[in-house]
Structure 1
Amino acid sequence: MSTVVPSWLWAVFVGVVIIALILDFVVLRKQGDHDVSVKEAINWSLVWVALSVGFMGLLWWAVRDGTGSTELANTKALEFITGYLIEKSLAVDNIFVFLMIFTYFAVPSAYQKRVLMLGIIGAIVLRTVMILVGGWLIAQFHWVLYLFGAFLLITGVKMWWAAGQEPDLESNPALKLLRKVLPVSKDFHGERFFTIENGKRVATPMLLVIALVGMTDVIFAVDSIPAIFAITSDPFIVLSSNIFAILGLRAMYFLLAAMASKFHLLSYGLAVVLVFIGGKMMLIDVIKIPVLLSLGVVIGILALTMWLSVRTAPRLSESAQEPPALR
């Protein structure tokens, strides 16, 4: 695969990601263990979105300056924002699984930040490798696109049928295997992964949480990376849009965790998005769907799903709404 992006923009991209992670770590260490408020989550989410939009502007300028084509620059910017939106949307489902894991293990909210930060770093490394491998496969074997498309179609259908069902983490084979391999303490010991009990070194529940979050990253990377290849084959767009979507994952988690009940239909919308992208990929040599149209469809599906979620959100019973003095 080839890209029209100048080499210096690759260096800028890597530099921005490294600086962003370092700053995130510095803020995390400075704040220490504390509960993340909705206001703080909103502020950080806005920071990450603004950073992504700013980078898209730099991308547009670099392509425009390097090629002299405004039309090509517009196309690359649209590909970036569409890929970013798709990856950000699919990350929502990832976040709901994180929420389930944290709830199951009763992870104190003050400790969840470190888990998410380590998960983000692992996801960046993993997705970079998978994108490079996937890009090479597509460049060598065009028919791989059809496999990716079929996989996304099947995944979308499975996600639709699984939406609304409560996952059973207790029967998760990965969790059972981890418990067999590692002796685990009953309680958390701060953010430590290991502790000493009865003179023996044992793992803490925090280590199991980190392991499950890492496995979740692998599963969702397999789903989301083929989706971005349906939008563009430009390796820079694929990688940068994916990584920028991941960078804001920690802030988005705490924001959505507080709003999860309001978007209970979102999984259905994500399933439809996957089916649409899978179909687009399978028809890539028959029908060329413009990037702008793809962006509009994705935004429309997500907006409709969120609107329906708010309209049909479960309401508190009248007794639950009564003031304590009236009960």
Structure 2
Amino acid sequence: MTMTGTPTMWALFAAFVAAALVVDFVSLRKQGAHAVGMREAALWSVLWIVVSLLFVGWLWWYLGGASGDPARQALASNKAFEFITGYLVEKALAVDNIFVFLMLFTHFGVPAEFQKRVLMIGILAALVLRAGMILLGAWLITEFHWLLYVFGAFLVVTGVKMWWAAGQEPDLDNNPLLRWIHRHMKVAPGYDGERLFTRVDGVRTATPMLVVVVLIGVVDVIFAVDSIPAIFAITTDPFIVLTSNVFAILGLRAMYFLLAGMQERFHLLSYGLAIVLVLIGLKMLLVDLYKVPVGWSLAMTLAVLAGSMLLSLRTPPQGARGAAYPFSPKRRERPRPP
């Protein structure tokens, strides 16, 4: 395993992530609860993409891309390609997260002005969760090379299942976790602002917001199980794996609000993601027979995703997403006692 992350690089990256989260939290606090418009979402999406490109440019320079040494230049270019490919794959797989988030918000009737904070909590949980899973996965692959074949087979099976499940809505009413929550937790009939708990008849009770936060966390665990093996098929360098994941996640909230209004336009994207997962899984299964160049992986990923999006625009969607849920924002919560 080729590892490029020096203590200095890890420290600089950690400082950047901490600063980005502080800026995000301060911005969220100053703006307060509000519905995010397309213009704001587009600006933040562009900002995160530009920051990611600046990072990969810095990484290329730091590793010697401009040094004049052919060996260092080759390493720098290869790592930059690995980052871009991993970032693209994680961004693409995040689209499926977004559609599930949209379905959850619609199902639970989460008011638009509260969705931003819920997603922020989900992003923090995702950063902690994925960092732990990536570091564990990197150690396991170093110690047990044969796990690459397990990951590869898992991705192929996941891709096939995603293909067959594309276009179908998850049945939340029969979801085991949701049924367990309702059996073991009292849930208020309505929202109490952005609070996770409220009081009903003097009894401390969970709000529907807490249920949504829990389900979003579970969704991220499920998607992390798919996406992390996918990035390990591109590179086993822990620094590249973690940084590409983190940059993809940091822009997830803005990406949600950007795509939430046009999910039907890209209704065939799930099929494209399924093909990408199968291709990445096959690449992992062939790792000891033939190492697919990173450039080819990037080109195939771009071609499949672009093709599925173009076909989506040319083919009218069928059916409709979303469902009603008893926790409607019209059913206003009880006033919180002083």
Q: Shorter-chain-normalised TM-score: which range?
A: over 0.9
RMSD between aligned alpha carbons?
1.3
The alpha carbon displacement at 1:179 in A equals: 1.0
Contact 1:82–1:294 (8 Å) recurs in 2: yes
For structure 1, which runs of at least 5 residues remain unmatched after alignment? Answer: 316-327
Counterpart of 2:198 in 1: which secondary structure? strand
CA–CA separation in structure 2 for the residues paired with 1:294 and 1:199: 58
CA–CA separation in structure 1 for the residues paired with 2:225 and 2:5: 26
Contact 1:5–1:63 (8 Å) recurs in 2: no
CA–CA separation in structure 1 for the residues paired with 2:179 and 2:265: 32
CA–CA separation in structure 2 for the residues paired with 1:60 and 1:10: 15
Counterpart of 2:211 in 1: which secondary structure? helix
Q: Which residue of 2 aligns with 1:303?
A: 306
Contact 2:97–2:219 (8 Å) recurs in 1: yes
The list of structure 1 runs, each at least 4 consecutive aligned residues, that deviate by more than 3 angstroms after superposition, is 65-68
One-letter amino acid of the counterpart of residue 183, structure 1: K
Q: Which residue of 1 aligns with 2:62?
A: 62
Q: Which residue of 2 aligns with 1:319?
A: none
Counterpart of 1:183 in 2: which secondary structure? coil
CA–CA separation in structure 2 for the residues paired with 1:166 and 1:229: 29
Contact 2:63–2:76 (8 Å) recurs in 1: yes
Of Structure 1 and Structure 2, which has the larger fraction of its residues in helix?
A: 1
TM-score (norm 2): 0.91
CA–CA separation in structure 2 for the residues paired with 1:277 and 1:193: 39
* CA 1:293–1:65: 2 relative to 1, 3 Å: closer
The alpha carbon displacement at 1:165 in A equals: 1.0
CA–CA separation in structure 2 for the residues paired with 1:247 and 1:229: 20
Q: Which residue of 2 aligns with 1:40?
A: 40
Q: Does 1:268 align with 2:257?
A: no
TM-score (norm 1): 0.94
CA–CA separation in structure 2 for the residues paired with 1:36 and 1:115: 13
Equivalent pairs, count: 315
Q: Which residue of 1 aligns with 2:293?
A: 290
1:129-140 equivalent positions in 2, closer than 5 A: 129-140=132-143
Contact 2:81–2:294 (8 Å) recurs in 1: yes
Of residues 60, 70, 74, the one that matches 2:77 is 74
Of residues 74, 84, 87, the one that matches 1:84 is 87
Q: Which residue of 2 aligns with 1:114?
A: 117
For structure 2, which runs of at least 5 residues remain unmatched after alignment? Answer: 319-338
CA–CA separation in structure 2 for the residues paired with 1:284 and 1:58: 29
Contact 2:65–2:74 (8 Å) recurs in 1: no
CA–CA separation in structure 2 for the residues paired with 1:238 and 1:53: 16
Task: Report percent identity of matched pairs.
Answer: 60
CA–CA separation in structure 1 for the residues paired with 2:15 and 2:86: 21
